[in-house]
């Protein structure tokens, strides 16, 4: 995934109301940026950290700047939760995930389950369809270890149960975690911050839901999945 235009840089002043952040750009200009992330962004919003933002030329946008990345402990971390679906699609089409490669058709945002939409639906007449739910991961408390989720997510637990239903209906249910930071080599489900999600993950595994995690290479030019990583207990 390549950014359409060069990113601009600055320092974070504060994030507030979930969707907004005040930033001082490197040229000294104070701006308010939109934040495309509804999560807690735990550990990623300390005042003074370096940030990267995209700039839209849309005249109707109230906030032309959009926060895309932050730097923590020398590592660039992607925070835009709108990007992992694109990153996941590129990973599938590139063959990074062999068991998801070679499907005849890839569809985005398809209705399924109980008032839900699956991020990616893979279809092929020669094998079961694969329902792929994509999750963004950028939380880390220990060196090398990414964790999900960073706050309770009832919606995430619901998705795991619905993927289990797809498996029991004869399809494949797949949870794909996209780690938008390059300093981690394994993923852990974060049961201490969300025991309900952790229980749903274990339940989904018993029902046959597959889970994969991919590591991303992150630069100011773009973000790409480069390898898989294990999901540990």
In a domain, residue 56? The reply is yes
Per-residue model confidence (pLDDT) at position 59:
62
Token pair of 174 as six digits: 């797949």
Smallest CA-to-CA distance from 93 within 184, 10, 1, 16 is with 1
Q: What is the C-alpha separation between 70 and 221, in angstroms, rounded? A: 14
Judge if 70 and 183 occupy the same domain: no
Radius of gyration of the chain, Cα coordinates, nearest whole angstrom: 18
In a domain, residue 2? The reply is no
pLDDT, tens digit, for every residue of 140-196? Answer: 999 999 999 999 999 999 999 999 999 999 999 999 999 999 999 999 999 999 999
Judge if 73 and 139 occupy the same domain: no
| Mean pLDDT within 216-223 | 96
Three-state SS at 62: coil
Identify the band that residue 220 occupies on the pLDDT scale cut at 50, 70 and 90. Answer: very high
pLDDT, tens digit, for every residue of 50-97? Answer: 999 999 876 678 899 999 999 998 999 999 999 999 999 999 999 999
Judge if 147 and 70 occupy the same domain: no
Last residue of a domain, one of 77, 93, 114: 77
Domain span holding position 44: 8-77
The mean predicted confidence, pLDDT, of the chain is 95
The total number of structural domains in the chain stands at 2
Judge if 141 and 213 occupy the same domain: yes
| Mean pLDDT within 18-22 | 95
Judge if 91 and 45 occupy the same domain: no
Judge if 93 and 157 occupy the same domain: yes
């Amino acid at each position: 995934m390549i950014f359409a235009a060069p990113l601009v840089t600055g320092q974070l002043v504060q994030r507030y109301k979930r969707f907004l952040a005040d930033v001082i750009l490197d040229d000294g200009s104070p701006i308010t940026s939109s934040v495309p992330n509804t999560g807690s962004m735990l550990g990623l919003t300390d005042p003074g950290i370096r940030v990267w933002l995209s700039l839209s030329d849309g005249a109707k946008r109230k906030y032309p700047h959009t926060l895309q990345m932050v730097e923590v402990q020398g590592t660039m971390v992607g925070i835009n939760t709108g990007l992992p679906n694109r990153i996941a699609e590129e990973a599938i089409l590139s063959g990074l995930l062999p068991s998801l490669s070679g499907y005849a058709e890839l569809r985005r945002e398809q209705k399924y389950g109980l008032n839900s939409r699956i991020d990616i639906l893979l279809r092929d007449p020669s094998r079961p369809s694969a329902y792929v739910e994509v999750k963004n991961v950028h939380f880390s408390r220990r060196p090398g270890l990414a964790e999900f989720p960073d706050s309770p997510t009832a919606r995430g637990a619901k998705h795991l149960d619905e993927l289990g239903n797809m498996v029991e209906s004869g399809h494949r249910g797949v949870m794909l975690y996209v780690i938008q930071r390059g300093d981690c080599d394994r993923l852990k489900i974060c049961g201490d911050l969300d025991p309900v999600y952790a229980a749903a993950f274990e339940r989904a595994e018993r029902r046959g839901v597959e889970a994969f995690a991919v590591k991303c290479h992150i630069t100011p030019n773009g973000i790409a999945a480069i390898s898989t990583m294990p999901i540990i207990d």
